[in-house]
Each structure stands twice: as C-alpha cells, then as structure tokens.
C-alpha cells in the first residue's frame, strides 16, 4: 500500500453473528499489518480472544433513567466514538452492520466538527434485508448510508438489494468475506468430536445463531432423511431463539440419539475440520461465512440458493445450492456425496481450492486497505 497504515476504529456487535465475526477478523488482520485498531462495542467481540499488540477495546456503557423506555445505546456509542477518535487521533471509523452503527458514526462525525473523521459502513445482510427495510428504520438507515464516506457490501447480491431497497445514489463497493486459510485448513488436528463417530457414523454439522432466517426446521428435516439412508450424527453449534423449537422437533422425530447440541463454540475451526458435511439451508444468506469456513476446511457444503451464496459455491462442484424448502434435493445430494468417498474428496478439494483462490484473508485485506486509502484521499 502506498500510504501508512491508518488508525482505525471498528464498531460491531460482539455476538457470534457473521457481521461481528468478519469485523473482528478484519480488525485482527489489520493489526497484524501494523495498523492501530480500536474496537468499540458494549462487550468484547466473541473472536477477540487473543492479545494483539496493536489492538485496544473500548467498552460502551449506557446510563438508565426512569424516563427512558430503553437505555439510549445509540447516543452512548456516538459519544464513545467521539471520545476514542479524539484521544487516539483515529483516521477513520469502520462500522459493521448499518443499524444503528452508521447513524452513530454520522453523529460522531458531526460532533467532531473540524476534526473530521472518515466513516466506512459495511453492509452485511439482515441490516438491509430484514431490519433496515422496516418502516420504523428505513429513512434513518438510508440517510446514514448516504452520508457514509465509503460503503461496502459483502456480495454483489447484497449490493444490488441495498441499492434497490433504499433507492441509494451512493456507490457501494463489493468486498467479499474472507477466511484465514492457515487456521481453517483440512489438515488441522481434530479436537473433540471422536465420540460422534462411534460405530462408523458420519458427522453432519450446522452452525448458526438459531434465528428464523436460518431455517432450523429444514436442517432437522433434511438430516432425518440423511439418517434414514446412512449412519450419521447431526452436530448443532450455536444458540438462539429457535433452539427450544428445534429441541421439540428432534424429539418429535425420535432423533434424540442422533442429534447433539453443542451450544456456543468459539473455535469453530476445530469442529468444522472433523465434519463430513455442513448443512445450512437458510431462508437467504447475503454471503455465507460459515459455508466459506467449512469449504476452507475441505468440508462439502449444502446451502441455500437464495442470496449471495452463488458467488461462493460452484453448483455441484465445490458444493450444492438448493431452494431452502427442497429437503429432498438437499438430502439426496448429501446422501450421494457422503456415500461416495471419491466424490466427497473431489468436492472437498474443489471447495478448498476455490477459497484459496478467491477468499484468502490476505487478498481481501488488501482490498480493504486500498478502499481505506481511497476514502482517506
């Protein structure tokens, strides 16, 4: 890069959703490049689990008062942004997930006045497709995106959806999600799932935040069909509002001895590398970060054809895309692939090769640094 590495403020949700994970991994990668990175949120991001020399975390606290129906987090975040920018002389603030972070960045920039800060907003998916388009938020989200100095989206599908849904005039740069191919790799030493392979059973995995958009009924329904044809266990990683209903569906189908709930897990790479197949039949995915991480580990992926996943997976080569209601189609592809070791190996190798070629962390971080340089200039 032609200029010095900028001092960056990163605003994200600390929860284990895709936007928080990408934001954290990007910040860690920037710190490895020598950038000073300041994370700003109400709790440490879930993947900020190691000390890094160039990283600081700044916690946002909200004061409650009887007249407030809810604590005013947006105002507290904007104030904390001003404080961190002034104290650490940041060059830009990169906010992940438009609502309310892009609005907070705009407020902070206005309050800073002559000490102008550049703002970058990355759109991740549900901030546009589910939350931002609601009438209560639409106008504010549109205004905040338009007022950002730079805007990126994690897929061309999401860029086009954003431009259409908000009638934006702002140019949106597509910078896809990425993965550390040295950490997510097929030859990583397996840890912890040996018991699920007893009696020669295969391991099918699903990992998500267990929200309705992740289509958990289709996960269980598809696996039930796989289990009828092959000896297999389903390992579910994550927690969320759909968890009780998922437990109930498993019991209703009599799959208690075949379906295992692991809850939240930070080192997902240790689990993915031991899986034989990843099953992610979401209602839609703006990109599909978990699928990307599985592909990097050489794991065949069955996922939705709704959203940006076609930009990640070559149909029937490096994975399988299906309508999220097509349980028979997903199960059929999974059974054919799991039941044929040569076929499974070919898909795994194609998946890994595609990730290495297109979605390696080093390549995508370069794109972000180039984008920052354009915004700062």
Helices (H), the chain: 18-32, 73-88, 98-112, 126, 138-147, 156-166, 216-229, 243-252, 268-272, 289-296, 327-338, 341-358, 361-376
DSSP structure class, residue 129: I
Q: Judge whether 39 lies within some domain.
A: yes
322 and 365 both lie in a single domain: no
**How large is the average pLDDT for residues 269-296?**
94
Six-digit token pair at 218? 């289709």
The number of folded domains in the chain is: 2
Q: Quick one: pLDDT at residue 257? A: 93
Same domain, 171 and 257: no
**Can you tell me the distance from the alpha carbon of 139 to that of 219, in angstroms, rounded to the nearest whole number?**
35
What digits encode the pLDDT tens for the residues 313-345?
999 999 999 999 999 999 999 999 999 999 999
Count CB atoms within 10 A of the CB of residue 144. 25
Cβ neighbours for 78, distance < 8 A, ≥ 6 positions apart = 104, 105, 107, 108, 111
**What integer best gives the mean pLDDT of the chain?**
92
**More confident position, 231 or 267:** 231
Confidence category of residue 67, pLDDT binned at 50, 70, 90? confident
What is residue 1's predicted lDDT score, i.e. its pLDDT?
Answer: 40
Same domain, 351 and 303: yes
376 — pLDDT class (breaks 50, 70, 90): very high
Which pLDDT score, from 0 to 100, does residue 239 have? Answer: 92
Residue 182 Cα to chain centre, angstroms: 18
Rounded CA-CA distance 147/105 in Å is: 9
Phi then psi for 315, rounded to 5 degrees?
Answer: -55, 125
Percentage of residues in the chain having pLDDT higher than 70: 97
Burial 295-323 (b: 16+ CB within 10 A, else e): bbbbbbbbbbbbbbbbbbbeeeebbbbbe
Q: Residue 188 has what pLDDT?
A: 83
> Average pLDDT in the 222-236 region?
97
Stretch among 20-24, 79-83, 368-372 having the lowest mean pLDDT: 20-24
Residue 2 has pLDDT above 50, yes or no: no
Length of the chain: 377
Same domain, 112 and 207: no
Same domain (yes/no): 155, 257: no
Domain co-membership, 148 together with 203: no
Claim to verify: residue 364 and residue 354 sit in the same structural domain: no
At 15, is the pLDDT very low, low, confident or very high (cuts 50, 70, 90)?
confident
Look at residue 264 and tell me whether its pLDDT is greater than 60: yes
Query: In this structure, are 39 and 100 located in the same domain?
Result: yes
What pLDDT does 192 receive?
Answer: 66
Q: Which whole-number Å values give the CA distances from 362 to 38, 287, 365, 369, in the listed order?
A: 20, 18, 5, 11
**3-class SS at 244?**
helix
Average pLDDT of the segment spanning 92-103: 93
Q: How far apart (Å, rounded) are the C-alpha atoms in residues 164 and 170?
A: 12
Q: What is the pLDDT of residue 261?
A: 95
Q: 151 and 12 in one domain?
A: yes
Q: What's the pLDDT score for residue 56?
A: 95
Is the domain of 167 the same as that of 217?
A: no
Q: Are residues 238 and 335 in the same domain?
A: yes
The arithmetic mean of pLDDT across residues 117-146, rounded, is 85
> Is a pLDDT exceeding 90 seen at residue 222?
yes
In a domain, 17, yes or no: yes
Q: Tens digit of pLDDT for each residue in 155-192?
A: 999 999 999 988 989 999 999 999 999 999 998 877 66
Q: How confident is the model at residue 132 (pLDDT cuts 50, 70, 90)?
A: low
Distance of CA 281 to the CA centre of its chain: 15
Is 185 part of any domain? no
Rounded to two decimals, what is the model's pTM?
A: 0.89
Q: In the predicted model, what is the mean pLDDT of residues 351-362?
A: 96
Residues 347-362 have a mean pLDDT of 96
Does residue 241 sit within a domain?
A: yes
| Residue of 332 and 1 predicted with greater confidence | 332
The two structure tokens encoding residue 239: 């927690």
Give the domain extent around 244.
Answer: 194-358
Residue 217: per-residue pLDDT: 98
Q: Are residues 128 and 160 in the same domain?
A: yes
| Separation between Cα atoms, residue 73 and residue 44, nearest integer Å | 16
């Amino acid at each position: 890069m032609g200029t010095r590495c900028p001092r960056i403020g990163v605003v994200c949700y600390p929860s284990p959703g895709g936007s928080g994970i990408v934001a954290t991994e990007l910040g860690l990668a920037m710190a490895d490049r020598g950038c000073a990175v300041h994370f700003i949120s109400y709790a440490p991001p879930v993947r900020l689990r190691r000390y890094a020399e160039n990283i600081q975390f700044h916690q946002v606290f909200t004061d409650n008062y009887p007249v407030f129906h809810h604590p005013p987090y947006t105002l507290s975040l904007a104030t904390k942004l001003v404080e961190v920018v002034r104290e650490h002389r940041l060059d830009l603030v990169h906010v992940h997930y438009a609502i309310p972070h892009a609005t907070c960045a705009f407020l902070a920039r206005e309050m800073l006045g002559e000490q102008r800060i550049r703002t970058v907003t990355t759109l991740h998916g549900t901030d546009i497709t589910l939350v931002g388009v609601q009438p209560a938020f639409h106008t504010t989200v549109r205004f905040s995106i338009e007022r950002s100095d730079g805007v990126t989206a994690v897929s061309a599908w999401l860029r086009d959806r954003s431009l259409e849904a908000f009638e934006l005039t702002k140019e949106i740069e597509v910078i896809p999600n990425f993965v550390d191919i040295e950490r997510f790799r097929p030859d990583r030493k397996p840890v912890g799932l040996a018991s699920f392979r007893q009696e020669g059973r295969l391991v099918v995995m699903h990992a998500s935040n267990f929200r309705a958009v992740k289509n958990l009924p289709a996960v269980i329904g598809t696996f039930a069909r796989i289990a009828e044809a092959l000896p297999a266990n389903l390992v579910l990683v994550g927690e969320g509002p759909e968890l009780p209903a998922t437990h109930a569906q498993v019991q209703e189908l009599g799959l208690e001895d075949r379906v295992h709930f692991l809850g939240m897990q930070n080192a997902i790479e240790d689990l993915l590398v031991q899986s034989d197949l990843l099953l992610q039949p979401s209602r839609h995915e703006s990109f599909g970060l978990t699928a990307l991480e599985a592909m990097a580990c050489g794991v065949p992926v069955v996922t939705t054809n709704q959203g940006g996943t076609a930009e990640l997976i070559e149909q029937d080569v490096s994975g399988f895309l299906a309508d999220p209601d097509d349980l028979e189609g997903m199960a059929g592809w999974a059974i054919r692939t799991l039941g044929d070791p040569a076929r499974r190996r070919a898909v795994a190798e194609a998946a890994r090769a595609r990730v290495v070629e297109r979605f390696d962390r080093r390549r995508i971080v370069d794109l972000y640094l180039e984008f920052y340089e354009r915004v700062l200039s």
